Structure formats: C-alpha cells, structure tokens
Amino acid sequence: MERENDGTREMVFSSLLVLFYFLPFVLALYFVAPKGFRNGILFFFSLIFYAWGEPVYVILMLFSILLNFTAGYVVEKYKRQEEIKKAQIVLVISVVVNLLLLGIFKYSDFVVENLNHLTGLSVPLPRLELPIGISFYTFQAMSYAIDVYRGEAERQTNVIAFGAYVTLFPQLIAGPIVRYQTVAEELTGRRENLDDFSQGIGRFMVGLGKKVLLANSIGMVWEQICAMGIDTLPALTAWIGIFAFTFQIYFDFAGYSDMAIGLGKMFGFHFLENFEYPYLSKSITEFWRRWHISLGTWFREYVYIPLGGNRKGMRRQIFNLAVVWALTGIWHGASWNFLLWGCYFGVILIAEKLFLLKWLRRWPRFLQHFYAMFLVVIGWVLFALTDLGQVGGYLAAMFGLNGAGLANEASLYLLTSNLVLLIILALASTDWPKRMALSLMLRLKNRMSVSIALQNVFLAAVFLLSVAYLVNSSYNPFLYFRF
Amino acid sequence: MKKKEAIITIAVFLVLLFGLTIWNLLTPDREFSYNENKYLDQMPSFSWEKLLSGEWQEDFESYITDQFIGRDTWVGMNVASERAIGKKDVNGVIFGKDHYMIQMHTPQDVDGELVEKNLERLRLFVEKSKVMVGEEHTSVMLVPTASEVLAEKLPSFASGMLYDQKALLERAREQAGAEAWIDAEELLGQHKEEYIFYRTDHHWTMTGAFYAYQEWMSRKGYGSVKLEDYEQVTLSEDFLGTTYSKAPDGSAKADTMLLFEKDPEREYTVYLEGADQGRQGLYDPAKLQEKDKYASYLYGNNGLVEIRGGEENGRTLLIIKDSYAHCFATLAAQDFEKVYLIDPRYFLQDVWEFARTHQVTDTLFLFNTMNFAQESYLYILDEA
C-alpha cells in the first residue's frame, strides 16, 4: 500500500478542515443558489477539493473530463448516423487514452523497474507522483462513453454537468465508482428534498464514526505491531495485527463509502451501495458480491461480460475470470503483492465455481463462515504488506514458524488493551447493530418522540466524539486513497 | 410525521456543523497552550509557490487543528472514551495503579545505533574525567524511569511492551566502570513504595532525587547525608505534569513539588548561560504559577547553569545532565561551593576546556536511561 502521503495533504471528509470549513460553505452556497447553478457549484468546489492535495494534477483531471465528454459526444453522433464502425473506433481510442493515462501515472515506475530487472538495463524511474483517486475517476469517466455506445445512457450535452459527475467530491477519491447510467438522470433532473437530506446526514455521521472512531483506532494497533519487526512477532501478536488490519481496511473503506453515499444524498444523488456486510460471507464468491461492490460491478460490466462472461463455455469462463482477477489485483496498486492478491482470489473463485461451492454448501454454517473469513484474512496479509518477503515472514509468524513462539507478554498486553475494541469491531461489522436498532425503533413505534430523540442523540454523540478524536489525532490516513 | 422527523435531524446537524464553524471563526487565535505547554500553529502566510507545492494546505490544516476551540476539552473526551473501552495506554501514556500516569517507552522509540554511540561517549567521558579530576571524583548515574522502577504499578503485561532499561543499565555499567558507576536502579528499587516519581509527570520527585544524592555522596566519601537534616518546603500541591498533558484524564491526581533545604537562611545565586547577573534562589517562583511547574527547579532548561552560595569548601561540581538533574542539583548546591550544569542540547563550548578553566574538582554524568538512549547531542563528548 502506498503510504507516503498518509492522508496529511489530501482533503478528506473525516477532517476538521472539511467538516468545519469546506462542507458548511459548500452546503450553504449550494442550497442558496438557484437550481441552474448547482452543478456548476459542485463542479467548482470538487475541483478545489481535489486541488487541495494535488494542485497540479487538476489539469490532468480536466483533460480526462474533456476527453471523455468529447468521446461520448462523437460516439453518440456516429451511432445516430448509424456509422457503428466509426463509433467503435472512437470508443476504442478513448478507452486506450484513458488506460494510457492511468498506466503512465500509476504503473510507469513499476513497469520500468521490472523491465530493468529483467533486461539488466538501468532506465531511470519516472517517479511520477500518483494523482489521487486516478484509478477511481478514470474508471468512472470511462463508463460514460461505453454506456452511451451501448445505448444504456443518453449523451450528456452539458459539460458542466458531466464535469460535476466525474469530479463529484463525495466519491472523487475513494469511490464508490459511480457508473454514468446510475446518475445520468439525476445529474440534470435531481430534486433535493428534506427526506433525502436527513437520511444523508445519518449515513454521513455513521460513516464518519466508522472511519474516525473505529478504523483509525484499530489502525494504530496494526501500525504498532508492524513497527515491532515482522520477523520477531509471536503468533498471537501476528493474528491480532492482521485482525486489526482486517477491521481497519473495512471500516476505513466502508466508512468512506457511507460518507460519500450520505453526502450524495444530501445533494440529491442516489449512489448504489458499495458494501453489504462482507465479513458475514460464507464463501469467497459471496465475499466479492458484498465487498467493494462498485468495483466488482465495473469489472463485470466492462471487462468480464464483454470478454464473453460465462456464455462461451467453461474454459473461456475460467480464462475470463483469471483476466478479471489479475486486473482487479493490479488495479489496487502498482506492486506484485496486489497482483498476487488478485490472483489468489481468482484461483479461489474459480475453484469455488468448479466444485468447491457445491461442496461447501453441505458444511455447517459456522464452518462456511470460518472458511471464508480465514481466506479473506490471509488475503489481507498479501494486501497489507507490499514487500513479498514481508508477506512470507508475516505468514510464518501467524503459524508459529518463525521461532518466536505462540505469545509473549506484549501479545497479551495488546490483546487485553484492545479486547473491547476488537469485540465492538466484530459486532459492528455484522448486521447486528442494524437489526437491534430496527427492533428498538419497532418497539418505540408508538412513542415516536422517544425514538426520534434517541436517533438524534446517537448521531450527535457520534459526531461530537469523532470531532474529539480528530482534534487529538495526528493519525488519519485513508487506505484506499492512492488507488 | 415523516417530514417533522427529517427536519429535526437536519436541525440538529446544522446547529452542530454551523455552530462549531461559527464559534471557531469568532474565537481569536491563541499563541500558546498552557495545558500542552507548546506554541500553537498560526495562520500560515500565503504564497503561490507554497500553494502549488501543497505546503500551505498542510500548514493550514495543522493551524486549524491547533486552534480548534476547546481543544483541551476535546482531547479530554478522547482520553475518557479510550479509557472507557479498556485501553491501557493513550497517547503514549500508560495508566497505572494509584493514579500513576507513566510514560511508555517502547523498543521502537529507541535507535540502536545511537545507543551504541552514546555508550561509547559515556566511556570517553569517564576516561577523560579520570585524567582531569581523578577516578574517585568521577561519577556516572543513569536513572531508570518510572516504567522500570514502578513496574508493579503498571497494568498487567505492560512491561512486555517496554524498552529493556535493565539491559541498557547493565551495558552502561560496563562502560562506566565499577568505580564511577552509581547504581540508581537498585537504590530506587529499595524506595519504590515511597513517593519517588511524580504521578502525572515523567520526572522523579525531590524525594527520589534525594535518595540518589545520599547514595552518591556516601560513595564519593563526602559524608553521610540524612533526611532529617533538611527542611522540606512545599513548592506546589497542584502540579499536573507532562504525562497528564499528553493524556489529560479526569481521574488524575495532582502532584506535590518539594524543595529540600538544610539552611533556609542561606542564599544561593543561579547564573544562567554565563550571565553576569544571577537569579536569587534555587527555584523560580514565577514558574510555579504556570503549567510547566517542573521548570521552576533551577529555572528550567538552560545550556549552562552555575550555582554559587554553597559550603565554602573549594569543591566544584560539573554535571553533564538532562532535566532529572534539576532537582538533584538543588541538593548538590548546598554541599559544593560551585555547581555547573551542562545540557548538551544547548551547550556550544568544549566541555573539557570549560572544566579546566573553571577548576572543576568533581564530575557527574546524570541522565535518565531513556533520555540517554535517545539523546543525539551527546556528540559534544566525542573526541575533538
């Protein structure tokens, strides 16, 4: 994982800057302005939001907007004239340019480094700084021309509205990846309303709490354990560490998605869900239907199905799955461990498709859960440590193969000091809190005022506590930033 | 009904969001935080260059974090909630028994190479000092911190997280040699039931320093020092020190600061940084009104401190030290004609040249173990 920037420069929602400077200002201006100006306001402030951390790369983003807007325009024109071939050529060019930009800015160091390694040359590394969120907005922008070509969305005639779609600050830097067809109508015809706004608030607060109270807190434990030196970790410490990361990555990312979905709702957009309690899964197939749904959907819609999906026989399907999962892996970062991580899931998914899933279904439920979570957690080792040597060392530590034993005093300290937090995290990653809240609301059906008061006190408490954690903490990274 | 519900939530949110925003905008910026004892970041000056490099943005964020209204209250809230879910340490402070808030030193805080260098510098110090003032007048004392001495007050398993001070002390003893080495670890261990460390600060108390002083004096053959010979003056009863500042906790119990005086009538003059004008008295009463009360002893951190007014016996003591020596030296000042304290971080002269010209008769190297392990300025003891 790219850690150089550690969330100090990017404007992130979960910061005092956004909460008490950016957001109030944008909200006020947005709702005071007449409808016709609102996309312009969103576009402009999204650019500022982006420029806060990457002043120079705004140009790249504007280029991407123009490129895709033009591509959509031309594709639609040729289609209308029934010149399908030409439409195809334009589409292919736009896709290639998009991927080229992504390739240059994200993967050039990786490619050059490995070429040097293979050929013995020493071509200097380009060392381009990765533009924040480029993997997200490139995918998002690309979906537009493709949707238009397939006739799944109308052409957008207003470049401001299209710019607002690509840059929309709530999901600009860490998703969800919103396909154009999902918000096409809302871009120009949305109607903000009180109900959406208040639901958006709730969603935003819950996301803020997930990120600041849960992900950041447990993230510190993971950092602490990594700093101890991976080769000397006893098994218990290594397991606490990887569980800490397992929770950190989920609450970090799901919290961000919640905040994005919530903010979107406040402005009248309805994004699709991005997480559906992934840690409740009973198979890896199910896990990937519940984890980072927007990315899975993107790859399914724009890679897997165009390659033929499951319609061209089993062999071809397995090939298609392999391609999709290798790409999914490398999408997460320009490093071998991410590729390995993608392939790891590719292999498991193929095995599940071929025979494992049928077999699994006969297992008791808790064993199915255990199976899925075990593989997910092992997967996080591949994901969390970019150095493959460290991955090996960490796995060895987890299974007591490094000679450091099962546990030491430090393991017991970490366990006892974080036990309550770990239990809270485990419960919070299931749907139990939601079910409890719903049943409580049901019981209070006839005492509406109590129910309303409870909800608002809860949201206010989460908000105030999050502010307290933000004021105190210097540790506030965003794991999914640099993808 | 549905609509009313929505309006209430929106109202709560807008009041919180805009309330805090406006409150922040209307509150004037502070220069200094007394609780954290640090200067706060101010509004960064603007330039296009800084804007394009992202530096201005970074400065602006740390400015608004530092200046956030009610900072201390928010931090207190954070600490309270961390403790409520059973966290044993917050912001690098371990919550021990009997209201002890103990600074947490982990192995990761320490750079092994620096430790090796400093051990070598310690050996050099002893070697040179022996030549100058003689073996019997050369001393080294490394003081283990509260996490080591008061291990029994730590929560269970905490010592597994901590840097091994015992091992470091063992190595340092070898470097210093048995003659120069004063074993603070053992003697503080004998008094661990007493009030020898502050509850809310990382320093030892006057009482802790006194036992070390007593041992050192007897080892050097300067006679036996007895507790009952001193009048114990209370300087402050509401001292909340550095570990409290890091993790302000509601259950903290304020500390008492003492001064030990054999002869309250006697007058001492303290010269800071070679100034001609001295300050009267071994402590600074003004500092007792501030947050960082420990800085009252010998007027806080200075590169060079000279104390005069002690017994006229021709003895001149030079202490190479960290802040643990500040209360210790108030005792030494009473038994030595002159005492010099050198803080390597702010001292720019040649140490041994200084010792020669000031006719030093005794030297003492006094640090707590963790500062010794982490002090990068000890190069002033390297051979020129």
| pTM attached to this predicted model | 0.91
pLDDT for residue A7 is more than 50: no
Distance CA B84, CA B165 (A): 30
CB-based contact A409 B161, cutoff 8 Å: yes
- Token pair, residue A35, equals 């409808």
Determine the distance in angstroms separating the CA of A10 from the nearest CA of chain B, rounded to an integer.
9
Least confident of A44-53, A336-345, A431-440: A44-53
Confidence of residue A172 (pLDDT cuts 50, 70, 90): confident
Contacts 24+ apart (CB under 8 A), A23-26: A23/B17, A24/B17, A24/B18, A24/B21
Confidence of residue A6 (pLDDT cuts 50, 70, 90): very low
Confidence of residue A476 (pLDDT cuts 50, 70, 90): low
Helix%, strand%, coil% for chain A, nearest 5: 75, 0, 25
Per-residue burial over B272-301, b if 16 or more Cβ lie within 10 Å, else e, is: beeeeeeeebbbbeebbeebbbbbbbbbee
Nearest-10 crossing angle of helices A23-32, B2-26: 120
CB-based contact B10 A20, cutoff 8 Å: no
Least confident of A2-16, A395-409, B275-289: A2-16
Distance CA A391, CA A344 (A): 13
Residue B384 is predicted with a pLDDT of 55
Confidence of residue A480 (pLDDT cuts 50, 70, 90): very low
Q: Are A470 and A213 in contact (CB under 8 A)?
A: no
Q: Pick from A233, A417, A476 the residue to mutate for testing the B interface (most B CBs within 10 Å).
A: A417
Confidence of residue A304 (pLDDT cuts 50, 70, 90): very high
Which residues of chain B make contact with A412, given a CB cutoff of 8 A? Answer: 156-157, 160
Determine the distance in angstroms separating the CA of A424 from the nearest CA of chain B, rounded to an integer.
9
pLDDT for residue A5 is more than 50: no
**Pairing of β B316-321 and β B338-342:** parallel
Residue A11 is predicted with a pLDDT of 65
Distance CA A304, CA A316 (A): 11
Residue A82 is predicted with a pLDDT of 87
Sequence-ordered strand ranges (E) for B76-176: 89-90, 93-95, 101-103, 138-143
| Residue of B5, B17, B86 lying closest to A417 (CB–CB) | B86
- Number of Cβ pairs closer than 8 Å across A and B? 142
Which residues of chain A make contact with B88, given a CB cutoff of 8 A? Answer: 413, 416-417
Residue of B nearest to A417 (CA): B87
pLDDT digit string, tens, across residues A11-45: 677 788 888 989 999 999 999 999 889 999 999 99
pLDDT digit string, tens, across residues B88-118: 999 999 999 999 999 999 999 999 999 999 9
CB-based contact A17 B9, cutoff 8 Å: no
Per-residue burial over A233-245, b if 16 or more Cβ lie within 10 Å, else e, is: bbbbbbbbbbbbb
Residue A50 is predicted with a pLDDT of 87
Per the DSSP assignment, residues forming a β-bridge with B297 are B283
Determine the distance in angstroms separating the CA of A20 from the nearest CA of chain B, rounded to an integer.
5
- Cβ partners under 8 Å of residue B128, min gap 6: B352
Least confident of B68-72, B83-87, B275-279: B68-72
- Measured CA distances, A241 to A169, A244, A260, A277, A384 (Å): 32, 5, 28, 21, 11
* Residue spans per domain, chain A: 33-190, 196-472
Which three-class secondary structure state does DSSP give residue B48?
Answer: helix
Residue A446 is predicted with a pLDDT of 86
Least confident of B136-140, B288-292, B340-344: B288-292
The answer to whether residue B1 neighbours chain A at the CB level (below 8 Å) is yes
pLDDT digit string, tens, across residues B218-239: 999 998 999 999 999 999 999 9
pLDDT for residue A1 is more than 50: no
Distance CA B142, CA B150 (A): 16
Residue B342 is predicted with a pLDDT of 95
pLDDT digit string, tens, across residues A405-461: 999 999 999 999 999 999 999 999 999 999 999 999 899 888 888 888 999 999 999
Q: How far apart are the first and last CA of chain B?
A: 83
The pLDDT mean for chain A works out to 90
- Evaluated on CA atoms A62, A64, A67, A72, the torsion sign reads negative
Residue A303 is predicted with a pLDDT of 93
pLDDT for residue A482 is more than 70: no
CB-based contact A469 B13, cutoff 8 Å: no
CB-based contact A19 B91, cutoff 8 Å: no
Residue A8 is predicted with a pLDDT of 38
Letter for the amino acid at B81? S
Determine the distance in angstroms separating the CA of A378 from the nearest CA of chain B, rounded to an integer.
26
The answer to whether residue B158 neighbours chain A at the CB level (below 8 Å) is yes
Which residues of chain B make contact with A419, given a CB cutoff of 8 A? Answer: 86
Q: Are B366 and B319 in contact (CB under 8 A)?
A: yes
Q: How much of chain A, in percent, has pLDDT values that exceed 70?
A: 95
CB-based contact A468 B75, cutoff 8 Å: yes
Letter for the amino acid at B85? I
Residue of A nearest to B248 (CA): A472
The residue with tokens 């401190």 is: B305
Q: How much of chain B, in percent, has pLDDT values that exceed 70?
A: 98
Confidence of residue B315 (pLDDT cuts 50, 70, 90): very high
Residue A426 is predicted with a pLDDT of 97
Residue of A nearest to B84 (CA): A420
Catalytic residue among A117, A270, A292, A332: A332
pLDDT digit string, tens, across residues A102-157: 999 899 889 898 988 888 888 888 888 888 888 888 999 999 999 999 988 888 88
Q: Pick from B64, B78, B95 the residue to mutate for testing the A interface (most A CBs within 10 Å).
A: B78
CB-based contact A417 B18, cutoff 8 Å: no
Residue A4 is predicted with a pLDDT of 32
Distance CA B167, CA B170 (A): 5
Residue A466 CB neighbours (<10 A):
21
Confidence of residue A193 (pLDDT cuts 50, 70, 90): very high
Which residues of chain A make contact with B250, given a CB cutoff of 8 A? Answer: none
Residue A117 a catalytic site member: no
| Residue of A11, A16, A448 lying closest to B1 (CB–CB) | A448
- Token pair, residue A238, equals 């290594």
Which residues of chain B make contact with A455, given a CB cutoff of 8 A? Answer: 9
Q: Are B95 and B200 in contact (CB under 8 A)?
A: no
**Element at A288 (helix H, strand E):** helix A284-290
Which residues of chain B make contact with A473, given a CB cutoff of 8 A? Answer: 78
